[in-house]
Structure 1
């Protein structure tokens, strides 16, 4: 999977970051366009700790945190293996992806998001500090794996 992150408004409802996936991936497109900017530091923290993440319309689940019922449920989309994450969007469905690839994607996306929104007055004052700390933590955890 290849991707390109662009700084442009995709539509009126989205923020100013757009990811183009090759091949196209509707679940990932929807996951990132649904992600609330002010919740991104929380996502970074969860991913750094390989913890599941839930937000309205979407979720992220790590293999190591799934119980037998969830593993069985994921058989419908081909199953999930150790070292993978399940990415779900209520409208577009669910996919599994290699955990390290997903972490790198989130890291790239978050760095771009921080660059664009660092001085945005509509976000909490500590947002940029939380983002910077989250990016550093994810980088450090990713380099250890």
Structure 2
């Protein structure tokens, strides 16, 4: 499924019982072109169109005023999210064991992970280390110079 052209695009302001953009677009699927309406939302809040008696899900990868629609398979998105969540859980378990092995001290673990290439954002936002401690370690590893975040 591919968007060929957005034929009409309306951003609702008030009074027409809609809260999301809607309109019509020309799409191509398996060599055939269709003109379809968009703006429909399923019970899980996903935007979709119907073409060739099938439902196709899409998202706006652009902005509200400069839309760029991409089609996706919701089953594939769920699988990727599950896999990413599992990886994050395993990583957090490994880091927890590293902290325990270091006598419940964060600093040696932060130093080791920074040497492995973890950035300040990854250490703070993903792994949950205290920002002050991470900043201190990053400064000391770079010899007091400013570093890239």
The TM-score with structure 1 as length reference comes to 0.26
- Flag the structure with larger Rg: 2
Return the structure number with greater helix share: 1
Return the structure number with greater strand share: 2
Work out which structure has the larger RCO, using CA pairs closer than 8 Å and 6 or more positions apart in sequence: 1
The TM-score with structure 2 as length reference comes to 0.26
